[in-house]
Amino acid sequence: QKEVEQDPGPLSVPEGAIVSLNCTYSNSAFQYFMWYRQYSRKGPELLMYTYSSGNKEDGRFTAQVDKSSKYISLFIRDSQPSDSATYLCAMSPYSSASKIIFGSGTRLSIRP
Amino acid sequence: NAGVTQTPKFQVLKTGQSMTLQCAQDMNHNSMYWYRQDPGMGLRLIYYSASEGTTDKGEVPNGYNVSRLNKREFSLRLESAAPSQTSVYFCASTGRMGQGYGYTFGSGTRLTVV
């Protein structure tokens, strides 16, 4: 069993819809949670970063962490075609970058 | 533009050939990393360098070697390429070890071993 599970999709939604992307994990020691966005043939770029449980909002994006359920989510409001990309969750038991575990990514397509 | 530059962008190797993937960053970052990305597997850490002069193994180091040439450059070498090393390779850097949220990734090298 992988430490981090992420549905690969693809997920296709119409423009303007609310998108929910999720990851589950098994290691209760994870405390740092990240979401990366990766456009086709590009490197990942950091989208959101949260520490421990709770919510974090940045514009149209909201990251949620539920440590009791070992479940993290990324919500995208008013989705745009430019949001079409692969979204990778990532997490770590501490701030050491060498211990970051990435999910396999969810491919998202926003239909105009 | 500031960032992480990887060369080459594409490469086809025959089994047993060797090659070096180059990575350079101009952000004065201390830490640099090499990842490979395979379908359904996510990003897996091959090697990292916390600071100039140090290197350490990651999750999947077998078949690879690295050199931290100076603060800017971190190269990845395949001594005898195997088809299992067909992948997309990403170099990344961050300002301080422990700031995973500060990763900057390069655009990747797409390597095919036949």
Q: Which residue in the block uniquely carries the two structure tokens 């990651």?
A: B58
Contact B41 A8 (CB under 8 A): no
Contact A97 B48 (CB under 8 A): yes
pLDDT at A88: 95
Strand partners, A35: A48, A89
Write out pLDDT tens, residues B86-95.
Answer: 999 999 998 7
Contacts of A4 in chain B (CB under 8 A): 42
**B109 in contact with A at a CB cutoff of 8 Å?**
no
Peptide bond into A10 cis (omega under 30): yes
**Contact B89/B21 with Cβ under 8 angstroms?**
yes
Characterize A58-78 residue by residue with b for buried, 16 or more Cβ atoms within 10 angstroms of its Cβ, and e for exposed: eeebbbbbeeeebebbbbbee
pLDDT at A95: 64
Q: Whose CA is closest to A62, among A47, A79, A74, A45?
A: A74
Write out pLDDT tens, residues B27-44.
Answer: 888 889 999 999 888 899
Greater model confidence, B22 or A31: B22
Which residues in chain A come in under a pLDDT of 50?
none
Choose among A8, A98, A102: nearest Cβ to B43. Answer: A102
Contacts of A37 in chain B (CB under 8 A): none
**B69 in contact with A at a CB cutoff of 8 Å?**
no
